[in-house]
Chains A and B, each alone.
Chain A
């Protein structure tokens, strides 16, 4: 921990995300308590935990949207507050105003806003990058649509495209698989994999424990505190899960065997 403070110019040795003793609260009870972990660059990481366990809070803290009560988030060795724009964000579906008067293309273009000073107009290049990103998620066809006029999976892909257009090294996604059908889930996963291949680091809030092991390189098990962080086999451990989910998990019985036996 000591040596990182001096020499942070060398981003290749620094972890993509370093969360250091993070505590975040909205009221008297902290939503996150003393959370620390380190994510190397180029990994696809899942965040799991029951409702209200602080998954979205963690994402917002890494984004720099929430100010921690204590602790620091470092992105490639730099404090998150100084790394504006290096993280892209795909919001939880429920938190988006789908009636907002904005087209698919315009949403993706927002990914470029951070690259253009406020007094300048968006150049041809920005439009091109936005179009490329739309092409990548195969949504070019819908670029003129208002965002409410898409299916759940398509909406998800638009925000993925925005994150791509942003050109960020770290992508944070809040429940991208919620409310989409199996085929779309695969399509989104493919985009995630592709993004990972391109060297990006992805942190994904996920609610389905049965697919967690298959999708992610490593998992973060969260319930206010960090219960486990590591390979899916280590995290999806029966005892851990029963502690965190307190028996409220229906698929739990199926799941624990998958992990115990593997």
Chain B
């Protein structure tokens, strides 16, 4: 027990460990807050670019002070250099992507590698003058954090927090809907530069701790992890720093226990691992939750089969056990599906059994129409009789309005399916007052003609006449309409389609 406690306390007594912990944690807080917006704005690559460009800036700042004033490793100069390099990179990126057809991500790729490479050349040409390990800037040197650094990190962290708290609404709205933001007078471009400036500051301050490559891990990963667990921006902006600090603490301890492991990479590895774990177990957007939801979700086809079964049964109420017995699916699935249908207010249950709600009735009728139209279609394209019902049973689940209307029109608005059962009318479009083609009318419907297709001047129907649909003739491919004077006209599909009518009423039904 004491040993275990010591394992946690012992590293804390080291001054380097203390400073590393404070420095890295503060960096993680700043990174997480800014990173949340970076992630939502899809600017992750920009963080990468900035951190790399910084290396050139640090080198330049170092050389500048050393060659002109003889200072060694002058920290403020290196930081200012880094900031300037960030500024140059960002301006170059927006310049290139604005004046040419090069897209922003490509411009980022070009500019940051260019400036990074420039830093590499400077560093190698003047390698005899540079007395710090630039490699430390690549993987960071957490355990060598100095007081000056700590102060800088703390100030940056405070500054960034102030900016985000003060301008939270502006950051939120320009990220979510820049057009609307601009229309109410929020300076969209200004906010963008503010965020870029914050990112540069955060990256500059964090690079000495975790290094050029890994700072992106601190900026992006905790924010992405937070994005998995919440759907509120406020929560995300709070959760991201929490995840960041968590990976800092765990990473530092691990590297101190294992020994001889660079702490910077360890922090980022822990962060990545944390992300992967949450990707799996996050309650809402995690893989397991998703899988569970899908498992819980009764397949749409099963839901529709149950509706179809109750509809075909014809009784007001069907006992649950009959449904369970008749539907060929595992019982627990059927039960779940019935519950789901009740939740969707399509079915209702009372003492006598399970029956439709009004909405359910409507839905069932829609499915029936789809099923019978598919069956007719299959017959039309020559599907063998024996396969008709089963194939139609699978296809009826394709029942969006466009599909069904297309079938209906293609088949000449059939009245009966191959088994002779009636195909329900297009009751979605057939609502009184609706403007439809006359070919949709069924016997008994009354409608007023709005217009008749132009190419048919000899058309027997004139505008503004009221017509009543009579029975179909021929093989169901001739429409009959009764005119106000009692005369009867006969139209083929094309001519009936050419007549646009306003439905007055659907007769007795």
Contacts and interface: CB of A to CB of B under 8 A. Distances in A.
Interface string B29-52: 000000000001000000000000
Contacts of A60: 179
Interface in B182-236: 182-186, 227, 230-233, 235-236
Contact of A253 (B186, B450, B453): B453
B166 A101 contact: no
B184 A166 contact: yes
Interface in A101-124: 101-103, 106-107, 110, 113-114, 116, 118-119, 122
Contact count band on A: 35 or more
Contacts of B454: 253, 256-257, 260
A146 interface: yes
B173 interface: yes
A261 interface: yes
A137 to B, nearest CB: 17
Contact of B184 (A101, A102, A113, A119): A113
B109 to A, nearest CB: 22
A181 B180 CA distance: 26
A85 interface: yes
Contacts of B422: none
Interface in B431-445: 435
A111 B200 CA distance: 31
B230 A257 contact: no
Interface string A62-90: 01110000000000000000001101110
A29 interface: no
A18 B25 CA distance: 55
B309 to A, nearest CB: 26
Contacts of B183: 63-65, 84-85, 87-89
A254 interface: yes
Given A254-B453, A261-B452, A85 B184 contact: yes
B177 A91 contact: yes
A182 interface: yes
B170 interface: yes
A254 to B, nearest CB: 7
A162 B176 CA distance: 13
Contacts of A7: none
A1 interface: no
B432 to A, nearest CB: 14
Contacts of A181: 401
B4 interface: no
Contact of B451 (A87, A214, A258): A258
A198 interface: no
B428 A102 contact: no
Interface in B140-182: 166-167, 169-170, 172-173, 175-180, 182
A198 to B, nearest CB: 20
Interface of A: 60, 63-65, 84-85, 87-89, 91, 96-97, 100-103, 106-107, 110, 113-114, 116, 118-119, 122, 146, 148, 162, 166, 181-182, 214, 253-254, 256-258, 260-262
30 contacts: A64-B183, A84-B185, A85-B183, A85-B185, A87-B183, A88-B180, A89-B177, A89-B179, A89-B183, A91-B179, A91-B180, A96-B177, A101-B40, A101-B236, A102-B176, A102-B231, A102-B233, A106-B232, A107-B176, A114-B186, A116-B169, A118-B166, A162-B180, A181-B401, A253-B453, A257-B451, A257-B454, A258-B500, A261-B463, A262-B450
Given A101-B233, A103-B232, A262-B450, 15 more contacts: A63-B182, A65-B179, A84-B185, A85-B185, A89-B177, A100-B233, A101-B236, A107-B176, A110-B172, A110-B177, A256-B454, A257-B454, A258-B450, A261-B450, A261-B451
